Each structure stands twice: as structure tokens, then as C-alpha cells.
A and B are shown apart, each in its own frame.
Chain A
């Protein structure tokens, strides 16, 4: 039972354009959502998070949008840079914060110079 789904295994975007990564969830108890970025041979690195009381959170080039009614969140990266090429994981938890994160299967983002 995949409670957090990233339906696009890969995405290619031209440098300078916007990258949009999508994530859907099924568990209505989830109230805290995060995006992690992973380079090969490294552990995941935290990017940005959002709680269910918000619908948008911004940090520099990264913006996360949350649509609770659709159980959908997205990560926007603008402008996309070559260093953004990595695997991006969406994660969710139903606790107060970060206990027991449930991860999606990841989307491999490739930025084309």
C-alpha cells in the first residue's frame, strides 16, 4: 500500500526553466510534508517542508504547494540549474512533526544545460 506516490519516475527540464515535481498521498492523517533531494552515493538532504495549515511555502528557488482537498503537493524549482539534477523524494508524516516519515519512490530530475 503506497501511501505516498510519485508517479513520474523521471523528468527532464531545460536549464533556466521551471521544474515541477508532483506527489500524491492517500492517508488523510498526514499533516506534515517534506521534500528531500538525493545525489548518488549520498544520503537524502532536506530541501523544504510544509504543514497542513499552509498551502504554500517558499525558500529561495524552491516552492512547495499543498492542495489538501486533492491530497496533492508539488515542488517548483525556478530557475532550474544543472546542480538540481538529482532524485527528489516526497515524504509525509502524521505526527506533530518528523516521526516515521513515509517516503514516495522518488523522481529523477535531469536539468539539460
Chain B
């Protein structure tokens, strides 16, 4: 168990640019989640996948955001035409399945700064 891996750890971009983040979940986990955390707040749910199917998206996920998990393994989160309000920590998590015995395991996040 090597844990959830996120890349890059930090990203600085100019407003209007597109960015893409990658998440590699724990290998046997079939559920993958994206959360966003801003300063002084707890993580906020963005979306989650079961295998390659995206099962739910938050209203926080505007049209500029898209997430994929093409083969049910790693996932990407893309933000198009970034805005300063997108600056946050983007956290990925995975779990084996739904249920009380399968809590979310989080990666260390990608910190995005939009200048």
C-alpha cells in the first residue's frame, strides 16, 4: 500500500490558463474522490468515481472543471480558464467501496495558485 499519490504537489499558473492534476489511488480501491480545500475551511466534495463511472458531481464543479478516470485507475482533474477563486488545495481520495469499514484515504494534495 503506497497510498494515494497526487501530481504535481504545487502549481502556479496565470489567470486564464488551463491546468491538469493527476491522482493515482491505492491500487485495489475502486472509488476515487476529488475534494477542494480553501484556507480555514474543511475539504469540500467535488466529484467521485466508481471504477470509470462518474457517479456524482457537486454544484461547485462549474463547466470549467472536468474530471476523468478513463480506465478505472488514475484520474485527472482539469480546470480550464483558471480564475483567482480557483486557488485552493485539491485533494484526491480513494476507498475500497462504500461502507463503514472503508474510510477515504487522502493524498497530500495539489496546491494551486492562480495569479
A binds B: yes
Interface residues of A (CB under 8 A from B): 4, 32, 34, 36, 41-46, 49, 51, 89, 91, 95-106
B100–A43 contact, CB under 8 A? Answer: no
Decide: A97 near B98, CB < 8 A? Known: A34-B103, A43-B108: yes
Chain B: interface secondary structure? loop
Q: Chain A: which residue is nearest B43 at the CB level?
A: A103
Known contacts A103-B43, A105-B41, A106-B42: does B104 contact A98 (CB below 8 Å)? yes
B44 near A: Cβ within 8 Å? yes
A-chain residues with CB within 8 Å of residue B44 when the two chains form the complex: 103
Q: How many pairs, one residue from A and one from B, have CB atoms within 8 Å of each other in the complex?
A: 59
- Chain A residue nearest to B103 in the complex (CB): A46
Best-surrounded residue of B45, B103, B106 (most CB of chain A within 10 A): B103
Which A residues touch B43, using CB under 8 A? Answer: 44, 89, 101, 103
Question: Which residues of chain B are within 8 angstroms of A51 by Cβ–Cβ distance?
Answer: 100
Q: In the complex where A89-B43, A105-B41 touch, is A46 in contact with B100 (Cβ < 8 A)?
A: no
Complex interface: chain A residues within 8 A of B31 (CB): 98
Contacts known (A43-B106, A99-B56); A104 close to B42, Cβ less than 8 A: yes
Given A96-B98, A98-B102, A100-B56, A41 and B108 contact (CB-CB distance below 8 Å): yes
Q: How far is the CB of A75 from chain B (nearest CB, A)?
A: 15
Residues of A within 8 A of B102 (CB): 97-98
Chain A min CB distance to B96 (Å): 10
**B40, A101: Cβ atoms closer than 8 Å:** no
- Asked whether A98 and B45 contact (CB < 8 A) given A34-B103, A45-B106, the answer is no
